[in-house]
Structure 1
Amino acid sequence: MCFTTVSMNYDNAACQSVLHRIRTQRPFVYGLTNYVAATLSANVLLAAGAAPAIGAAPGWATGFGGHAGAMWINAAGLINCTAQDMHDAVTAAQGNGVPWVLDPVAMGAGVSQYDAIIRDLASGGPAAIRGNASEVMALAGGSATAKGVETTASITQALPLARELASSRGVIVAISGPEDHILAPDGRHVTVPGGDPMLTMVTGMGCALGGLVAACLAVTPTGPDRLVAVAAAHALYARAAEIAARSAQGTASFATGFVDALSRLQQTAGPGASG
């Protein structure tokens, strides 16, 4: 397989086109995530222009999972919903052609029962898997161990296993880090530079990124364009973080500034215009 690597940031017209489609189409995005990250995830999706619903109220997993524009499952959502809720949502999404994103939070941290549930979910045909280096390595069958929800591995270590995971599962794999890496099953590879270290200091930032990836997939047809959609979510995140960091007094003001910055990107502009 021939690996082709390109770089993308927010200034790329394809990235801005994805954001424009979210703002104009306002896709319904359903998520099962943990209560720590739920509010930030909803605010991030609203800031981008999507319409979120989060949680496992009676009937939501099958009803929303089957009728959303896209869905994301954050494995740490098991602290406030059940594995059955997640399986029901995946089954509903599969049955109705709804693209969904798996975030294998804390995969490989040494909790075998938890890891087994994530592996089972991963067999349900996600359109994309998004995590840190340790999580992706663990899901791909590597020996990396995470430190709770934090990575102990580098992206360089994770890339070979991530490529194998993308190829063998037919899924887009995104690894978050100082520079994000997004890999397609056909060998294409997009890097997304930028962002800010404070992204790692605010609870739920990675979790909310999974929701934004789902929003980008919701407005992108099936096929090769989905790699661009997943990369666009990371590029939007990086640019909003850079803007927020300019005036942040600390991590709390950074979090608020991040949502503000995301909401103002290309707020009234058409595709291809800068935000």
Structure 2
Amino acid sequence: MSVKQRAAKLLTEVREQVPLVHNITNYVTVNDVANAVLSIGASPIMADDVEEAADITSISQALVINIGTLNKRTIDSMISAGKKANEFGLPVVLDPVGAGASNLRNETTKAIIEQVKISILRGNLSEVSFVAGLDVATKGVDSAEADEENDAVEVAKTVAKRLNCVTAITGAVDIISDGTSVVKIANGHKMLSKVTGTGCMTSALVGAFAGVSKDYLTAAAAGVASMGIAGEMAYEKAGNIGTGSFHIAIIDALSNLDGKTLEEMAKFEEE
């Protein structure tokens, strides 16, 4: 069975099993993240206080850590939740938003990676290049043009091998790797970059798929492809209206996405 076929099957399983996905995410996109998780068929919960983060993780099927609006209050919560996820054998998805842009983000990313076993790392090329140990020119939370010269496949493989995880680099062509196998995904639309939170939503979708399968390569590919396909469907429906309508149409598309459509529309290249 191909990765595409397995991804389609996973979408059906998400809708049937309704995994609880704990998101410690950023306040700019938290509502969109919750709606994306609901739309794909999973159940979101957001608990970022250190007094309950680990407890909530213990009753969840996956943990997604997103450092988008980083503050010192939640760093301990992220690590506490991550350790609890490791203890329970739950998947941990890390989205190192803006890694390379500030010392706090850099040190937090390193601290999480050092103390928590990451299952899937999802970010843009600049962010993942930082994790790979390369010099980066991170532009806020967006991938910097200078970093586009980095070989995304090699960066993904390097991080996957170093952290013993699956790495997903999203961009014009998405790269998913477990250090050996590589899946390239050509879905998506450039308008997705004009709506804040599509990266955060993608990481949460990856968490939803990881919540029903230990096949993290397929889970990452399914989550990334779901957002790409939703972007294409949303553009077709509302792209000519404006970014606000396009934004809502992404959620509509995710809510209507099924395994058959995913398999038909996914543009995968497996290596």
The CA distance in 2 between the partners of 1:35 and 1:169, in whole Å, is: 28
Provide the TM-score with structure 1 as the length reference. Answer: 0.88
Matches within 5 A, 1:109-258: 109=101, 111-123=102-114, 124-152=116-144, 153-154=147-148, 156-185=150-179, 187-220=180-213, 222=214, 225-248=215-238, 249-258=241-250
Instruction: Provide the alpha-carbon RMSD of the alignment.
Output: 2.2
Matched, 1:28 2:20: yes
Structure 1, unpaired ranges of 5+:
1-6
| Counterpart pick for 2:82 among 85, 90, 109 | 90
Shift in Å, 1:163: 1.3
Give the stretch that moved more between structures: 156-165 or 12-21: 156-165
Q: Per-residue CA shift, 1:157-178, capped at 9, x if unaligned?
A: 3332321111121110100001
Query: What is the letter of the counterpart of residue 79 of structure 2?
Result: H
Shift in Å, 1:76: 1.8
The corresponding residue for 1:65 is: 57
Change (3 A) 1:207 1:271: closer
Q: Per-residue CA shift, 1:9-28, capped at 9, x if unaligned?
A: xxx32221111000000000
| Counterpart pick for 1:13 among 5, 12, 16 | 5
Q: Per-residue CA shift, 1:186-232, capped at 9, x if unaligned?
A: x1000111211111111111011111101100010x3xx22111101
Structure 2, unpaired ranges of 5+:
267-271
| Counterpart pick for 2:46 among 32, 43, 54 | 54
Aligned length: 260
Shift in Å, 1:60: 2.7
The corresponding residue for 1:4 is: none
Q: Percent identity?
A: 33
Contact 1:93 1:100 in 2 (8 A): yes
Give the secondary-structure state (helix, strand or coil) at the position aligned to 1:129: strand
Query: What is the letter of the counterpart of residue 51 of structure 2?
Result: G
The corresponding residue for 2:269 is: none
Change (3 A) 1:251 1:81: farther
The CA distance in 1 between the partners of 2:39 and 2:81, in whole Å, is: 25
The CA distance in 2 between the partners of 1:201 and 1:272, in whole Å, is: 26
The CA distance in 2 between the partners of 1:97 and 1:66, in whole Å, is: 10
Provide the TM-score with structure 2 as the length reference. Answer: 0.90
Query: What is the letter of the counterpart of residue 174 of structure 1?
Result: A
Shift in Å, 1:57: 4.0
Change (3 A) 1:170 1:203: same
Shift in Å, 1:77: 4.2
Query: What is the letter of the counterpart of residue 162 of structure 1?
Result: A
Contact 1:180 1:192 in 2 (8 A): yes
Query: What is the letter of the counterpart of residue 217 of structure 1?
Result: A
